[in-house]
C-alpha cells in the first residue's frame, strides 16, 4: 500500500510540473509573437510626399520689348549688328505650351553657326557623355531590381573521384535549381520603385548638364562676337586718333602748335592701341573655350571663327509661362522630385525588411556513380523546399535603418523646396537683368550717337581753330568709351536672353512631365 500510495501521489506532481512548463512555453511564445508583431508595425507614408511650395501666380519682372541694337550704329569699320527681328520668320515662336521651342531656344537667335556649335557640344562634350553613362547605369540597375521579382533558374554539373581505404569511387551529378521569393510585403517592389526613380533622376541630371552646356556655349559665342565688335571699334578709333596725331605733327612742323599737343595726341593713340592686345587675348580665349566645349582641341575653331560677325540677336516675341509650368520644365526641380520618390520607396523597403521573408526552391537533377548510369531512372533526383525567415531580435538595427531612410526622405524634401525657390529666383533675376540691361542699352545708344556727332563737330571746329586740341581729344575718348559700352551692352542683352532660357529650363526635353 505504501508503495502504491507513493506512486499515486507522485504522478499528479509530475503532471502539474508538465502543465506549468507548457504554460510557460505558451506565455513565452505569445510574448515573442506579440513582440514580433509590435516590431513589424507598418510605416505609414506621408499624405503628400512632395512638399507644397507657395508659387506666385505670375512673374514680378515681366520681359520688355527688345531694343534695336542698330540704334546709334557702331563706329566706321565695325560690323553692323543684326536687327533683332531680321530672322524672326525662320525662328520658332516661344509661346505658352510650346516646349519644343524652349528645348532648342538657340534657334531663336537666327545664327546658324551658334546652332551648329550647340548641337556639336551636346553630342561631343565629355560631361554629356559622363551623364549619359550614369543614366545607362541607373537604367541597368532597374533591370537588376526587376529580375529579383522573377524566379531564377541555374544549371549545374559536377564530376568527383575519391579514394578511401583502397577503394575508389566516382560521383557524377547534373541538374537544375530554381528559386523564387514571393514579395508578400513589398520589399522587392519598393526596391524596384526606388531604382526607377533613380533612373528618372539620372535622366533629369543629364538634362541639367545639357541645359548648362547649351547656355555656356551660347554665352561664350556671344562674348566672342561682342569682342570682335569691340576690337573693330578700337581699331577704327585708333585709325582716327593716329590721323589726328599725324595732323598735329604737321601743325608742329609748321609752327602752328607745340610738342606738348603732339605728345597728348600720341598718349591717346597709344592708350587705344593698348586695348587691342587685351581684347585679342580675350577673343582667343573665347575661341579656345568654344572648341573645348564642343569636344575639340583649343585651337580647332580658330579658322572657323576668325571672320568677325554680328552679335546674334534673339527674337522679341517672348511670352513666358506661369511659374508652375516652368517648374515642370526645370531639370533640377524634376530631379529633386524623383529623389523624393526614391527616398520614399527606400523607406518602404526598409520597413518591409522587418517582416518575414518566404522562399520557394526546387531542384531536378541526375546523380550516379558512373557517367553511363546518368540516363537511368534511378539517377533522377528531385527536391522541393519552402522556407520562411523572420527577424526576432537584431538589436534594433532594422528599426534604425527605417529611421535612416526617413531622414534621407526628409532631406530630399528639403532639397526639393530649395530647388523650387532657386528656380523661381533664377527666372526673376534673369528677367530683372534683361529688363534693366535693355534700358541701359537704350541710353548708351543715345549717348553713342551724341558722342559721334560731337566728335565730328570737334574735328571740324579744331581744323578751323574754334576749339583747342584738348577738347578734341576729350571728344575722341568719349566716343571710344561710348561705342565700346554699346558693343558690350548689346552682347550683355543677348547673354541675358541665354540666361533667361537657362533659368526657364530650356535646352532639354522632359519626356515625363505632364503636359
Question: Does the pLDDT value for residue 195 go beyond 50?
Answer: yes
Question: Does the pLDDT value for residue 77 go beyond 70?
Answer: no
d(CA 369, CA 249): 116
Helices (H) and strands (E) in the chain, counts: 10, 4
Question: What confidence tens digit (pLDDT) does each residue in 386-442 have?
Answer: 888 888 888 899 899 999 999 999 999 999 999 999 999 999 999 999 999 999 999
Which grid cell is 364?
Answer: 531536378
Least Cα distance to 148 among 172, 121, 179 occurs for 179
pLDDT higher at 337 or 64: 337
d(CA 148, CA 327): 35
d(CA 316, CA 299): 34
Which grid cell is 292?
Answer: 573645348
Least Cα distance to 59 among 322, 324, 358 occurs for 322
The gap between the terminal CA atoms of the chain, to the nearest Å, is 98
Q: What are phi and psi of 477, to 5 degrees?
A: -60, -45
* Averaged pLDDT of the chain: 82
Question: Does the pLDDT value for residue 100 go beyond 90?
Answer: no
d(CA 317, CA 84): 10
How many residues in total does the chain contain?
515
d(CA 192, CA 386): 24
d(CA 31, CA 287): 76
59: left (phi over 0), alpha (psi -120 to 50) or beta: beta
Least Cα distance to 210 among 380, 371, 98, 329 occurs for 329
Q: Is CATH 1.20.1600.10 correct for 74-110+203-343+388-503?
A: yes
At residue 332, the 3 state secondary structure works out as helix
Q: How many CB atoms lie within 10 A of CB 500?
A: 23
pLDDT band of residue 467 (cuts 50, 70, 90) is confident
Question: What confidence tens digit (pLDDT) does each residue in 343-364 have?
Answer: 999 999 999 999 998 888 888 7
Q: What share of the chain is helix, strand, coil (3-state, %, to 5)?
A: 65, 10, 25
pLDDT band of residue 174 (cuts 50, 70, 90) is confident
The rounded Cα 216 to chain-centroid distance in angstroms is 13
The predicted pLDDT at position 276 comes to 95
Domain ranges of the chain: 74-110+203-343+388-503
pLDDT above 70: percentage of residues in the chain: 79
Query: Which has the minimum average pLDDT: 59-63, 289-293, 335-339?
Result: 59-63
The predicted pLDDT at position 41 comes to 59
pLDDT band of residue 168 (cuts 50, 70, 90) is confident
The answer to whether residues 359 and 181 touch, using CB atoms and an 8 Å cutoff, is: yes
Buried b (16+ CB within 10 A) or exposed e, 334-372: bbbbbbbbbbbbbbbbbbbbbbebbeebbbebbbbeeee
- Structural element, H or E, at residue 385: strand 380-389
The predicted pLDDT at position 317 comes to 65
Global pTM value: 0.80
Query: Which has the minimum average pLDDT: 33-47, 102-116, 170-184, 499-513?
Result: 33-47
- Structural element, H or E, at residue 142: helix 126-147
d(CA 326, CA 322): 7
Tell me what the mean pLDDT of segment 203-221 comes to: 95
The predicted pLDDT at position 22 comes to 55
Q: What are phi and psi of 272, to 5 degrees?
A: -70, -40
Q: Measured on CA atoms in the order 285, 291, 294, 295, is the torsion positive or negative?
A: negative
At residue 28, the 3 state secondary structure works out as helix
HEC assignment per residue over 34-58: HHHHHHCCCCCCCCCCCCCCCCCCC
d(CA 107, CA 89): 12
Place of cell 580658330: 302
pLDDT band of residue 255 (cuts 50, 70, 90) is confident
17, 33, 41, 466 from 28: Cα distances, Å: 16, 9, 20, 116
At residue 455, the 3 state secondary structure works out as helix
Least Cα distance to 388 among 415, 358, 409 occurs for 358
CA atoms within a 13 Å half-sphere pointing along the CA-CB vector of 271: 12
Amino acid at each position: 500500500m505504501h508503495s502504491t500510495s507513493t506512486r499515486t501521489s507522485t504522478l499528479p506532481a509530475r503532471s502539474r510540473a508538465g502543465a506549468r512548463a507548457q504554460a510557460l512555453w505558451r506565455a513565452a511564445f505569445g510574448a515573442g509573437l506579440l513582440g514580433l508583431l509590435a516590431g513589424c508595425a507598418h510605416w505609414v507614408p506621408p499624405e503628400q510626399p512632395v512638399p507644397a511650395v507657395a508659387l506666385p501666380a505670375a512673374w514680378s519682372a515681366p520681359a520688355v520689348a527688345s531694343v534695336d541694337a542698330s540704334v546709334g550704329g557702331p563706329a566706321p569699320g565695325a560690323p553692323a549688328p543684326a536687327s533683332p527681328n531680321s530672322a524672326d520668320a525662320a525662328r520658332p515662336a516661344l509661346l505658352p505650351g510650346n516646349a519644343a521651342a524652349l528645348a532648342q531656344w538657340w534657334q531663336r537667335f537666327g545664327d546658324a553657326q551658334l546652332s551648329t556649335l550647340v548641337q556639336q557640344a551636346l553630342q561631343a562634350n565629355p560631361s554629356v557623355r559622363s551623364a549619359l553613362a550614369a543614366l545607362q547605369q541607373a537604367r541597368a540597375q532597374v533591370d537588376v531590381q526587376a529580375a529579383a521579382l522573377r524566379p531564377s533558374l541555374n544549371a549545374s554539373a559536377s564530376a568527383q573521384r575519391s579514394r578511401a581505404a583502397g577503394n575508389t569511387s566516382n560521383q557524377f551529378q547534373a541538374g537544375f535549381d530554381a528559386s523564387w521569393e514571393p514579395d508578400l510585403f513589398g520589399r522587392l517592389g519598393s526596391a524596384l520603385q526606388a531604382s526607377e526613380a533613380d533612373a528618372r533622376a539620372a535622366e533629369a541630371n543629364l538634362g541639367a548638364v545639357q541645359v548648362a552646356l547649351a547656355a555656356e556655349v551660347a554665352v561664350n559665342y556671344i562674348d566672342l562676337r561682342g569682342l570682335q565688335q569691340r576690337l573693330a571699334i578700337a581699331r577704327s578709333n585708333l585709325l582716327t586718333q593716329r590721323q589726328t596725331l599725324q595732323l598735329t605733327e604737321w601743325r608742329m612742323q609748321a609752327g602752328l602748335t607745340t610738342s606738348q599737343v603732339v605728345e597728348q595726341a600720341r598718349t591717346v593713340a597709344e592708350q587705344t592701341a593698348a586695348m587691342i592686345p587685351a581684347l585679342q587675348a580675350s577673343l582667343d580665349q573665347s575661341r579656345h573655350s568654344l572648341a573645348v566645349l564642343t569636344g575639340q582641341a583649343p585651337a580647332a575653331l580658330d579658322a572657323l571663327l576668325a571672320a568677325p560677325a554680328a552679335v546674334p540677336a534673339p527674337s522679341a516675341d517672348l511670352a513666358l509661362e506661369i511659374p508652375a509650368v516652368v517648374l515642370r520644365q526645370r531639370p533640377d526641380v524634376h530631379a529633386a522630385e524623383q529623389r523624393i520618390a526614391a527616398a520614399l520607396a527606400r523607406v518602404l523597403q526598409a520597413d518591409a525588411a522587418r517582416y518575414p521573408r518566404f522562399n520557394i526552391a526546387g531542384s531536378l537533377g541526375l546523380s550516379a556513380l558512373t557517367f553511363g548510369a546518368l540516363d537511368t531512372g534511378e539517377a533522377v533526383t528531385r527536391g522541393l523546399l519552402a522556407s520562411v525567415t523572420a527577424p526576432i531580435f537584431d538589436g534594433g538595427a532594422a528599426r534604425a535603418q527605417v529611421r535612416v531612410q526617413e531622414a534621407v526622405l526628409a532631406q530630399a524634401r528639403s532639397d526639393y523646396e530649395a530647388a523650387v525657390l532657386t528656380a523661381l529666383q533664377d527666372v526673376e533675376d534673369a528677367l530683372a537683368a534683361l529688363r534693366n540691361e535693355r534700358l541701359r542699352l537704350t541710353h548708351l545708344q543715345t549717348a553713342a550717337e551724341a558722342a559721334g556727332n560731337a566728335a565730328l563737330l570737334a574735328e571740324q571746329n579744331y581744323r578751323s581753330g574754334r576749339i583747342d586740341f584738348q577738347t578734341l581729344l576729350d571728344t575722341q575718348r568719349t566716343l571710344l568709351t561710348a561705342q565700346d559700352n554699346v558693343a558690350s551692352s548689346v552682347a550683355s542683352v543677348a547673354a541675358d536672353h541665354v540666361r533667361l532660357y537657362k533659368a526657364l529650363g530650356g535646352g532639354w526635353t522632359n519626356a515625363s512631365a505632364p503636359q
